[in-house]
Chains A and B, each alone.
Chain A
Amino acid sequence: MNAPFRMNGQLTAFLCGVLFSLGLGISGMTQPDKIIGFLDVTGPWDPALLWVMLGAIAVTAPGYRCVFRRVRPVFEPIFHLPGPKGLDGQLFAGSALFGVGWGLGGFCPGPALTALVSGYPAVAVFVIAMLLGMRLFQWLDTRGGQTKRETGPAAVADA
Chain B
Amino acid sequence: MYDLFSATALLGGALIGLAVVLFALLNGRLLGVSGIVYGLIDRDTGGMGWRLAFLGGLLAGGLILLLVHPIALGVSANRSLMATGAAGLLVGFGSRLGNGCTSGHGVCGVSRLSPRSIAATLTFIATGILTVLAIDIGFGGSL
Q: Is the CB of B2 within 8 A of A96?
A: no
- How many Å lie between the Cα of A126 and that of B83 in the bound state? 9
Q: A31-B72, A101-B91, A134-B38 are in contact. Are A109 and B101 (CB under 8 A)?
A: yes
Residue of A with least CB distance to B80: A122
Complex CA–CA separation, A20 to B58 (angstroms):
7
Partner of B17, one of A56, A73, A81: A56
When distances are taken between beta carbons in the complex, the residues of chain A under 8 Å from B66 are 117-118
| Cβ B32 vs Cβ A17 within 8 A | no
Contact of B87 among A21, A86, A93, A101 (CB under 8 A): A101
Give B contacts to A, CB under 8 Å. 1-2, 4-6, 8-35, 37-38, 41-42, 49-66, 69-70, 72-79, 81, 83-112, 114-117, 119-121, 123-133, 135-136, 141, 143
Q: List 21 A-B contacts (CB under 8 A).
A: A19-B15, A21-B65, A23-B12, A27-B6, A39-B131, A51-B6, A52-B9, A55-B13, A61-B111, A91-B119, A94-B99, A95-B127, A98-B127, A110-B58, A114-B58, A115-B62, A117-B59, A123-B75, A137-B96, A138-B38, A157-B35
Whether A114 contacts B61 by the Cβ 8 Å rule is yes
Contacting pair A121 B81 (CB below 8 A):
yes
Nearest neighbor of A46 in chain B, beta-carbon distance: B2
Q: CB-CB < 8 A to B131: which residues of A?
A: 39, 99-100, 102-104
Known contacts A56-B16, A59-B16, A134-B37; 17 additional CB pairs below 8 A are A41-B132, A43-B141, A47-B6, A48-B6, A54-B10, A64-B21, A73-B28, A75-B26, A76-B29, A80-B30, A95-B124, A97-B98, A118-B74, A122-B76, A136-B89, A157-B35, A158-B30
Bound complex: CA of A158 vs CA of B77, how far in Å? 33
Give which listed residue, B91, B102, B108, contacts A105 with CB less than 8 A.
B91
Cα(A29)–Cα(B108), bound, Å: 17
Known contacts A74-B26, A122-B75, A15 near B57 by CB under 8 Å: yes
Q: Which are the 6 A-B pairs with shortest beta-carbon distances?
A: A17-B57, A159-B104, A27-B12, A55-B13, A159-B32, A94-B98
Closest residue of A by beta carbon distance from B119: A87
B126 cross-chain contacts in A, Cβ below 8 A: 96, 99
> Once bound together, how far apart are the Cα atoms of A124 and B49, in whole Å?
23
